[in-house]
A and B are shown apart, each in its own frame.
Chain A
Amino acid sequence: MPTYQIKVNGSVRSVDVSEDTPLLWILRDHLDLVGAKYGCGIAQCGACTVHLDGQAVRSCVLTAAQVSGKEITTIEGLSEDGSHPVQQAWKEVDVPQCGYCQAGQIMTAAAFLDKNPNPDSAEIKSAMQGNLCRCASYSRIYKAVEKAASRMG
């Protein structure tokens, strides 16, 4: 099996996996980073969202080869201690219900607000619409993104 060097959360890790292994499973099964979640495996739910060179991407449909040489950030690496403004907003608003989708929601929101710190309502909804929340915590997701924006903007 080929060996890949994966740069994640600031350190280079090496993994032996078959070349079709999605980044999601490399993170979860081989690097013990379980923050990114499996929800669909086909880029439909956003539970697996991580950052690739600062862009929000679906780690379930990216392979090791596609991410080599790029910087990957997972929810575990978004901040040292949960202090990223998006994480803070998520806590203040008490967004999670079951919580399963929330790491993906936060990663999508963080990358979005980085590019667009002053979004309007339609922009927030369109940025977040790729992330399903089966518990339908959408009202609070929206509120938390607004709140984080007010701090990042």
Chain B
Amino acid sequence: MSTSKPNMTFSRRDFMRTSSLAGGGILIGFNLFTACKPEASPPVDLASLNYNDFNAFIKIADNGAVTIFSPNPEIGQGVKTSMPMLIAEELDVAWDKVLVEQGVLDTKNYTRQVAGGSQSIRFGWDPLRQTGATARQMLINAAASRWGVEPSECTTSEGVIKNASGETLTYGDVVKDAAGMEIPEKVKLKKRSEYKIIGKDTWNVDLDKIVTGQPLFGLDYKKEGMVIASVMRPPAFGQKLDSYDDAGAKEIPGVIDVIRFGDKIAVLAKDTWTAMKGKKALKASWKDDGTLESTSDHDRILTGLLDGKDFQTLRADGDIKKAFASADKVLERTYESPFLPHNCLEPMNFYADVTSDKIHLVGPIQTPERTAQEIAEKLDRSPEEIHLEMTRMGGGFGRRLYGDFAMEAAEISSKAGKPVKVVFSREDDMAAGIYRPAIKYRIKAAVKNGEVTGYHLKEAAVNSNMYGLIPNFFPAGAIENYQVDVAKHDSNITTGAWRAPYTNFLAFAEQSFFDELAEMMEVDKVQLRLDLLQKVKGTTDERIQYSPERMEEVIKTAVEKSGWGKQPDGVYQGFVNYYCHNSHVAEVANVEIEDGMPVVKKIICVVDCGIVVNPLGALNQIEGGVIDGVGHAMYGDFAFENGVPQSGNFDAYRLIRINEAPEVEVHLMENDHSPTGLGEPTLPPAGGAVANALKAATGKRLYKQPFTKYPELLIVPEKEIIG
């Protein structure tokens, strides 16, 4: 992107700036994430700003062609398509005339630049529409002043401005004038009924490139002089490098160098296969530097925490002790989940070229800002020297929030004095994970006079506990005496965010518990949930994170669409409602018996995620989330033995496949609420829906994931087998 005459026009809207382009046209730069903060204040010195301070751009050429540089990295959530749709809508151009490109990103002054937490569209919703509308208003103002009419007399449609007497100018005709115009402070946004792009099925902007195999991903990136690094890391968590022998590796033709950095050893070669072979030829010995933990240890430790007294209380309403003491009936259950690797299909990789005057980084990363900062600190360089380009990502699921692989690339390049791309093998990717931590939940409920009077949720987790909003999710506010307590065990096994952190397992635990609670209370399973929601309506508790009304709507819709309670013999259903990532979801699983085994045939999924910007993309996310949730609940298992991960590749780690994937029927609620997350909220309920349906089919309750690890619980009693 080359610009000339960096323009004098600064807006009071401090996040936008315009500039004429050398080749004709206008470039509008804005900082999405500054704009997103309501309290955004102007940068200290406007004059020293340059275009690196902006992370999103609209380019309008003299011929009217519009290019939108998408501000967010694409990890498969479709934000590279949906976010530009918001700009194009308010700019009022035809979507098929818009070109979308991934913005090149520099690191200065970023406040938030993360693709994760299903939040991209939620945070972008207002600022992106305002940006489009502002650009449109500037073009109108330019046309109006040329005509000598009031801007308010002008209208636009698909890139053409029209005045009251019917004269027209295209955006391209007036871009030059617009580049010099004042940026308007206040602009009017369209009403939902006026939308032409938002809410319409829009195809993935990278489709052509994906189906023809064009280079898009980090692993596809190449640069002159680049070498590949394959890295040997300590085989067990809790080990450090003692000594190593690289003679064998260096004998392999094509191996260029072997470099130790910290407790890791990198084999550099001109191609990937040689680097991987070189790594295999390394001989290293390791020494223990901490406890080497095993899955059996975690099992024992987490149970110990649940049985113990050392908890942090995240929310406490009423007096649970009293509630349990005076209860007619009490139900207490414990639920257990294993560690999980992310297993993005594109293994971790990153390119770094560290030279004396700059650091060039390229690759798939969800947190470019933080990663660049960490690298600058580690290498003792200034963040301004770093230039980071994001590629398309072959999956994220939380793993690419962590920049460990980019750090490795930078360290190796710095030591080798060469441009280096670090490439993880699948085995590296599974063994050097930042896993979903193993977690156990214990839930206890008190029932008195047919009402749930007490609820106590305890969490015992490896390394970190649920974030602060979760205790305010359903059923918080619905039960008078309610408490959430958490405890953790510090481990040297690295853990972190995994698609829908905490809720990905908590939803299963709580929603299985409600199912069983309804059985104990001898009430309808759905009615129990609806009754609880009634109590939250009109709450003045501002901590409550969900809307009982919206939840009730998704539940009722799911009941109707799934034919809940009206299924023919041989179809067993499980019900779940859940709120997370600002979206309300209900799911019903249908299980049928085939050859004496229960099979998950279908999931009916009802989602309230506000206005759906791109229904075509949204459905893909929703279906994927549901199947991912089913898959990990059924099959996902990952164990450690003395610090060593016990699965290394897809032969020993089972992911759901097409023949195991249930049909997913999706219903989107229609309303005027701002958009909320799609990439995550449909995953957590899926495991619970399946477990509840399996209980209906087999009579056996599942308390542990993955379900297939307990085949004895998946057996259908003789009498239930039909035909």
Binding site for B on A (CB under 8 A): 1, 17-18, 20-22, 25, 28-30, 32-42, 44-45, 47, 74-76, 78-79, 81-82, 87, 90-91, 94-103, 106, 125-126, 128-129, 131-142
Contacts and interface: CB of A to CB of B under 8 A. Distances in A.
A101 B617 CA distance: 17
Given A45-B650, A94-B616, A98-B395, A137 B624 contact: yes
**Chain B residues touching A, range:** 35 or more
Contact of B624 (A22, A97, A100, A103): A97
A34 B211 CA distance: 12
Given A35-B214, A40-B426, A41-B425, A91 B207 contact: yes
Contacts of A41: 425-426, 649
Given A18-B274, A138-B661, A98 B394 contact: yes
Nearest to B624: A136
B289 to A, nearest CB: 30
Interface stretch (B135-143, B342-350, B367-375): B342-350
B83 to A, nearest CB: 16
Given A141-B658, A142-B658, A100 B212 contact: no
B213 to A, nearest CB: 2
Interface stretch (B99-107, B216-224, B558-566): B216-224
B98 interface: no
A77 B77 CA distance: 28
B623 A136 contact: yes
Nearest to B663: A139
A29 B215 CA distance: 12
Interface string B394-407: 11110000000000
Contacts of B75: 98
B553 to A, nearest CB: 25
13 contacts: A18-B277, A21-B273, A22-B273, A40-B426, A44-B650, A76-B212, A79-B212, A95-B620, A97-B621, A99-B210, A132-B345, A135-B395, A139-B661
Given A75-B213, A103-B210, 14 more contacts: A34-B213, A36-B213, A39-B650, A40-B426, A42-B426, A91-B208, A94-B620, A98-B396, A99-B204, A126-B659, A136-B623, A139-B627, A139-B663, A139-B664
Interface in B563-581: none
Q: Is the interface of B mostly helix, strand, loop or mixed?
A: loop
B212 A35 contact: yes
Q: Majority SS of interface residues in chain A?
A: loop
A3 B101 CA distance: 40
Given A38-B347, A87-B211, A91-B207, A134 B655 contact: yes
Interface string B627-651: 1100100000000000000000111
A102 B210 contact: yes
A75 B93 CA distance: 34
Nearest to A99: B210
B67 interface: no
A2 to B, nearest CB: 11
Contacts of A141: 658
A44 B208 contact: no
Contacts of B214: 35
B6 interface: no
A82 B211 contact: yes
Interface string B222-256: 10000010000000000000000000000001100
Interface in B587-616: 616
Nearest to B616: A94
Interface string B266-293: 0000011110010000000000000000
Contacts of A132: 345, 650, 655, 657
A22 B274 CA distance: 11
Contact of A37 (B207, B211, B394, B396): B394
Given A98-B345, A99-B76, A128-B658, A40 B213 contact: no
Interface in B333-348: 343-347
Contacts of B664: 139
B695 interface: no
Instruction: Name, among A1, A25, A82, A98, the residue most crowded by chain B CB atoms within 10 Å (CB to CB).
Output: A98
